[in-house]
Amino acid sequence: MSKPSDLVQGTLDLLLLKILALEPLHGWAVSQRLKQVSGDILQVSDGSLYPALHKLEQEGWIKAEWKTSELGRRAKFYSLTRLGRRQLEKEAANWERLANAITSVVRLKEA
Amino acid sequence: MRLEHWFYTIPLRLRSLVHRKHVERELDEELQFHLAQRIEQEIAAGKTPEEARYAALRAMQSIEQQKERCRDTRRVAWIEEFFRDLRYAIRHLTKSPGFAAVAILSLALGIGANTAIFSLINAVMLRDLPVKNPGELVLLGDGRASGSSDDFARTELYSFPFYRQFRQKNRVFSSTSAVLSLLFKRMHGEVGNGAALESIDVQLVSGSYFSMLGVKPILGQSFTEADDHPAGGHPIAVISYSWWTRRFARNPSIVGKTVTFRSTVYTIIGVAPPEFFGTSVGESPDLWIPASMDKQISPGWNGFNDKMFEAFYILGRLKPGVTVAQAQANVNIVARQIWRSYAGAVLSKDQQQALAHAHIELTGMARGLSRVRGEFSKPLLILMAMVGLVLLIACANIANLLLARATARQREIAVRMAIGAGRARLVRQMLTESLLLAIIGGALGILFAFWASHALLGMVSSGPETLPINVLPDTRVLVFTVLVSLVTALLFGSAPALRATRIDLTPALKEGRGAVPQASRSRLANALIVLQVALSVVLLVGAGLFLQTLVDLNNLDTGFNKQNVLLFSIDPAGVGYKEDARLTNLYQRIEQKVGAEPGVRAASISFFTFHQGAWDGSVIVEGHTLKPGIANDVFHNVVGSGYFATMGIPLLAGRVFGPHDTANSPKVAVINETMARQFFPGASPIGRRFGLDSKHSADIEVVGVVKDAKYLSLRQKALPAAYYPYTQRPGYYNDFEVRYAGNKRAMIAEVRRAMAEVDRRLPVFYQNTLAQQVDQSISGASLVAQLSTFFGLVAVLLACLGIYGLMSYAVTRRTSEIGIRMALGAERSNVLWIVMRQSLLLAGLGIVIGLPVALGAEQLVSKMLFGVRPADPVSMAGAAMLLLIFALVAGYLPARRASRIDPMVALRCE
């Protein structure tokens, strides 16, 4: 497994919000799901996951709830709040704008 | 958006603070869960448990670091740190209770004094009336005049007929009301069928008064416009909450009970809300009665239907969107129309002139009317400045103490900085300590202010009852105190904190204590002492100034002899006397009966004595051309024949009144010197004649001239005055004064008994002695004088404490140096001088700086306070001397200690 590409600055929030928008997950599951849906390309390191999640929680974008995990252990499940959904829309739109811009630059034909 | 954000985040922050342990446990559990999952995954990938665990931990980097980063997202660290600092500060302060006590007490005194004066300023000058939208209320005129007048086109006082027309014709007010310009104080009435007469304060108002102010009774109802006519037709009353409480113990079935004044029975129809005291700050009527009852309340008055009986204030509530300027324009047009309709078809020359000059200024009524405001605003502002200075001195003192403590803590601070504490963080921690001191001082200060503001109120109140002003601290006062405390903390805390953390680490960590920037520390400390002394000089000189002014006022020639005179008031109208010969006869019998008592030198009925109000108006003198305006105004008084003897006003020419001046004899008057000079220049006024109006232009003959006497206040200049015998002007004259010899208390009882023998039912009230009456007329000046003296002394005391503290500290620090000097042969007196020299130098510098500042401040004050004379060099020198002496004493104690140092002990201690 090659070293995953570094996440573009500021996109971690967007990814976490998007993943949690699909269903409430605990931290471990978030990291696995991200890896899985991105085909192992995107991966958040164990070291930056929790500070990022806690930051989103303190911003009021996601909220946490203790539930029993699929393995029967107590785990902290995060889910999106109304505020978070709005934030997700905003960041997704931003990302699209940025991605399109970069794409169009990259596709410039050389003269 | 913002709100929703807080909806999520505030509970989280609170949770992080309050359930800190729980939150920490959760964080740990969350990370452990992740770790376990990772280990499982690694094992599944074929690693041994050992290896898996190691790999998982490495992936997590450090768990503790993770936790710290998660904690950082909570954004409550500063709060936690604050509480840690606070705990530290408390521990620190309890370790030096002496310092804490001095700091907290001086802060409590300083902040308390500021709060107390501010609550008075707030109550008298700042607070809005407790009515609906007070900002919309305006008053016609400036509200300074009170009483009644019959001048044409008067712009401060209005007749009730004027009000009626004005109410209909103006286009700028949504509602108007009229209120009598004076409160009937101490009316004598019977409550229910009570046998005894009680003293009750009555305010006459128009029917629209309560509804216009938007004041709803908490019980029963209030007046309506229907109560404005017919005259005498509405014997009803609304009572104040405070009277309801005092007199009726808040009896819920009060409505329907009755109060009787002068044989008219008034039915109580409602109770005003607790916060409502009327529209005049410093007065609080016990009950309000419709203005249509004015003849029943005060038989001498005929204000209700007489167009020229001007005794009311008119209040208006501006219509929405109408500016004061627009309102003023309309008010003046309407008023002119009304006045014009009062004059005949052809205006006399005087009337033309009056009309041309009449201009009504609207005054904002949001804060209500107030005579106290005019009287005490400036003294209160001056006192505010003084207590502000005192607090500043206290701040300088505490700053110096903190500075000394910081020096003692220098090694501790250096160590903390060496192991990585940021300077900002340390400053914050030291400021927390200052804040703690200021908060405790402020809290005690509020308690102190609670007591002090009532004491102050007692000092400014004339008469036995304190002014009915609410000085309980409200939100504004509390905000003020909190702000003052915070500013104080910053003032005394920031310099020492900044100075203490600006250290050179290496020498500070080394053994020697003195290697730190000692010089700059003591420069700051010295500057603080100089500042304290300079401020004390300003306060002392100020105090001297106010004391001198008070002494001047006390020594002023009043024109009467204020010693040994008792003032009583009687109320013949209250027991049914009419304004006729029977009344005059009552007065004469009272004067004769009391005058014959042993110990009574003289006794007399009068309209006024001193500082009780006035009756003034123009006079017409044959052969004297009148200047327009108030230049012809004469202050009138109606008196008995014994008045001049009672008051001790010397007769200069002619005679005083006697038994031959009766209702049927030619009308006579005694005038004062100023009137003689002004209206009868050049020749003797005896035998000359004058009149009070054009119909009676020469019916009064001058029979005597007396010396000028003060009438309304001590500060007024000499005014023309005329006295008339009551025998020739039947009317209610309720003042009765007695000149006596002997015991005051016994005399009061004796006078009461003698009066009862004349008419058992006649209500008699002892008011005061004349001397007290005079003192109360200058209560503003004496308030300022007493308090400024007190605060001046407090300031000096604080400054001396500062000098003492600084010198003691210096002596302790210089013990070894002094020891060396003595070992080398320095005399004790030399050592004494070294220490004394410094304190004298500091005090001297402070005085040199303070005196010019004091001079400047004095200019400012004498502009503000009329009659304050500039301080003479003697009082300036006095203040300087006093401070020097105190500084000497404060410096001597540590100096003596220094001179007694045993060189051997001193040298060994290093």
Question: Nearest-CA distance from B23 to chain A in Å?
Answer: 12
Q: Pick B861 or A55 by higher pLDDT.
A: A55
pLDDT given for residue B219 in this prediction: 93
3-state helix, strand, coil in chain A (%, to 5): 55, 15, 30
Task: Answer whether residue B519 shows pLDDT above 60.
Answer: no
Q: How far is B84 from chain A (nearest CA, A)?
A: 23
Q: Does B59 sit within 8 Å of A47, measured CB to CB?
A: yes
Here the tokens at position B476 are 């504004």
What's the rounded Cα separation, in Å, for the pair B158 and B178?
9
Residue B671 pLDDT greater than 90, yes or no: yes
* Whole-angstrom distance, CA of residue A104 vs CA of residue A100: 6
Q: How crowded is the C-beta side of B633, counted as CA atoms within 13 Å? A: 13
Count of C-beta atoms within a 10 Å radius of residue A28 = 22
Question: Alpha helices of B739-778 — where are they, by DSSP H?
Answer: 744-758, 770-777
In contact, B783 and B452? CB cutoff 8 Å: no
Question: Which range (B249-253, B433-437, B472-476, B526-530) has the least confidence?
Answer: B472-476
Residue B33 sits at the chain A interface (C-beta within 8 Å): yes
Burial string for B598-619 (b: 16+ CB within 10 Å, else e) reads eebebbbbbbbbbbbebebbbb
Residue B909: the pLDDT is 62
Q: A-contacting residues of B 50-69, CB under 8 Å?
A: 56, 59-61, 66, 69
| Cα B741 from chain centre | 38
Average pLDDT over residues B433-439: 92
Classify residue A103 by burial, with Cβ atoms within 10 Å: 0-12, 13-18, 19+.
Answer: exposed
Instruction: Tell whether the model's pLDDT for residue B66 goes beyond 50.
Output: yes
Q: How far apart are CA B43 and CA B53, in angstroms?
A: 9
Contacts of A55 in chain B (CB under 8 A): 73
Average pLDDT over residues B599-621: 85
Q: Which two tokens stand for residue B614?
A: 């006035």
User: Rounded to whole angstroms, how far apart are CA atoms B498 and B428?
Assistant: 10
Which residues of B are less than 8 Å from A27 in CB distance? 30, 33-34
Q: How far apart are CA B811 and CA B894, in angstroms?
A: 7
Give me the sign of the Cα torsion angle B276, B280, B282, B286: negative
Give the three-state DSSP class for B16: helix
Tell me the backbone φ, ψ of residue B119, rounded to 5 degrees: -65, -35
| Residue B497 near residue B410 (C-beta atoms within 8 A) | no
- Residue A15 near chain B (CB below 8 Å): no
Which residues from chain B sit within 8 angstroms of residue A59, using beta carbons? 5, 9
* Bridge partners of residue A52, in order along the sequence: none
Distance of CA B176 to the CA centre of its chain: 30
User: pLDDT of B757-782, one tens digit each?
Assistant: 999 888 888 888 998 888 888 877 88
Which of A45, A47, A50 shows the shortest C-beta gap to B30? A50
Evaluate if residue B111 carries a pLDDT over 70: yes
Structure letter (DSSP) for residue B320: T
Indicate if the pLDDT at residue B735 is higher than 50.
yes
Q: Name which of A45, A54, A82 is nearest B70 (Cβ-Cβ).
A: A54
pLDDT confidence tier of residue A4, bands split at 50, 70 and 90: very low
Least Cα separation, residue B513 to chain A (angstroms)? 46
Beta strands in B708-798 (DSSP E): 721-725, 735-740, 764-769
Three-class secondary structure assignment of B494-531: HHHHHHHHCCCHHHHHCCCCCCCCHHHHHHHHHHHHHH
For B231, residues 6+ apart whose C-beta sits below 8 A from its C-beta are: B292, B294, B295, B304, B305
Choose the most confident range, by mean pLDDT, from B70-84, B314-328, B675-689, B893-907. Answer: B314-328
Whether cis (ω within 30° of 0) applies to the bond prior to B230 is yes
pLDDT of B465 strictly over 70? no
Q: Which pLDDT value is given to residue A5?
A: 46
* Nearest by Cα to B358 from B146, B616, B151: B151
Would you state the pLDDT for residue B696?
Answer: 75
CA B779 to chain centre: 12
Q: What is the pTM of this model?
A: 0.76
With CA atoms as reference, report the closest residue to B556 among B861, B788, B869, B785.
B869
Closest CA in chain A for residue B2: A83
How big is chain A, counted in residues? 111
User: How many Å apart are CA B110 and CA B116, to the nearest integer?
Assistant: 10
Q: Which residue has the higher pLDDT, B202 or B512?
A: B202
What is the C-alpha separation between B599 and B602, in angstroms, rounded? 9
A82 CA: distance to closest CA in chain B (Å): 9
Q: In this complex, which of B38, B70, B75 lies closest to A51 when CB atoms are compared?
A: B70
Neighbouring C-alpha atoms within 13 Å toward the C-beta of B334: 19
Question: What CA–CA distance (Å, rounded) separates B9 from B2?
Answer: 10
With bands split at pLDDT 50, 70 and 90, how would you rate the model's confidence at B629? low
Q: What is the pLDDT of residues B887-909, one digit of tens each?
A: 888 888 888 888 888 877 777 76
Q: How far apart are CA B873 and CA B898, in angstroms?
A: 37
State the Cα–Cα distance between residues B306 and B296, nearest whole angstrom. 15
Give A3's pLDDT tier (boundaries 50, 70, 90): very low
Two structure tokens written together for B796: 């000096």
Copy the structure tokens of residue B370: 């107030």
Chain A interface, mutation test: which of B30, B60, B64, B76, most A Cβ atoms within 10 Å?
Answer: B30
Mean of per-residue pLDDT scores for chain B: 86
CA nearest to A52 within chain B: B70
Instruction: Please report the pLDDT score of residue B626 as a whole number.
Output: 63
Higher-confidence residue: B17 or B542? B542
Asked whether B189 and B208 are in contact (CB, 8 A), the reply is no
pLDDT at B124: 86
pLDDT grade for B520, boundaries at 50, 70 and 90:
low
Which residues are within 8 A (CB) of A48 and not within 5 positions of it... i.e. 6 or more apart?
Answer: A12
Cβ distance of B12 and A58 shorter than 8 Å: yes
Determine the pLDDT at residue B514.
45
- Pairing of the two strands A74-80 and A62-68: antiparallel
Q: Does B15 touch chain A (CB under 8 A)?
A: no
The pLDDT of residue B165 is above 80: yes
Q: Binning pLDDT at 50, 70 and 90, where does residue B737 land? A: very high
d(CA A17, CA A30): 10
A81–chain B Cβ distance below 8 A for any pair: yes
- Mutate: best of B12, B24, B54, partner A, most A CBs <10 A: B12
Size of the A and B interface in Cβ pairs below 8 Å: 70
At residue B866, the pLDDT reads: 59
The contacts found for B126-131 with CB under 8 angstroms, 24 or more apart, are B126/B367, B126/B476, B127/B281, B127/B367, B127/B474, B127/B476, B128/B366, B128/B367, B129/B213, B129/B279, B129/B365, B129/B366, B129/B367, B129/B368, B130/B273, B130/B275, B130/B276, B130/B277, B131/B213, B131/B214, B131/B215, B131/B276, B131/B279
More confident residue, B784 or B632: B784
* B869-878 CB burial, b ≥16 within 10 A, e <16: eebeeebbee
Residue the block writes with tokens 């006497």:
B709
Residues of chain A positioned with their CB less than 8 A from the CB of B72: 51
Reported as half-sphere exposure (CB side, CA atoms, 13 A), residue B575 has a value of 17
Contact A50 B75 (CB under 8 A): no
- Give the distance from residue B69's alpha carbon to the nearest chain A alpha carbon, in angstroms: 6
Greater model confidence, B812 or B480: B480
B168-to-A98, B163, B175, B228, B363 alpha-carbon distances in Å: 72, 9, 10, 14, 21
**Whole-angstrom Cα distance, residue B869 to residue B856?**
14
State the pLDDT at residue B521. 63
Interface predicted TM-score (ipTM) of this complex, two decimals:
0.85
Q: Which residues in chain A are contacts of B68 at CB distance < 8 A?
A: none
Contact A50/B4, CB-based, under 8 Å? no
- Work out the minimum CA distance from B17 to partner chain A, whole angstroms: 13
Cα–Cα dist B642/B670, whole Å: 13
Query: CA-CA distance, B207 to B179, in Å (whole number)?
Result: 10
Q: Which residues of B touch A33 (CB under 8 A)?
A: none
Provide the 8-state DSSP code for B134: G
Cα separation, A87 vs A103, in Å, equals: 24
CA distances in angstroms from B283 to A67, B135, B179, B280, listed in the order given? 69, 21, 13, 6
Assigned token pair, B847: 């005085």
Instruction: Give CA separation, B271 vs B183, B214, B261, B264, in Å.
Output: 18, 14, 19, 20
Chain A residues within 8 A of B29 when measuring between CB atoms: 74, 76
Triad B351, B353, B356: Cα angle to 5°: 110
Residue B517 to residue B503: CA distance in whole angstroms:
7
Q: What backbone phi and psi angles, to 5 degrees, belong to B267?
A: -95, 130
- The beta-carbon neighbor of A57 closest among B12, B60, B72 is B12
Highest mean pLDDT among B113-127, B150-164, B289-303, B373-387: B113-127
Query: Could you say which DSSP state residue B264 is in?
Result: E
From the list B709, B858, B865, B863, the residue with the least C-alpha distance to B782 is B865
Comparing A20-34, B60-74, B109-123, B656-670, the range with the smallest average pLDDT is B60-74
Average pLDDT over residues B145-154: 74
Round to whole Å and give the CA distance between B213 and B827: 81
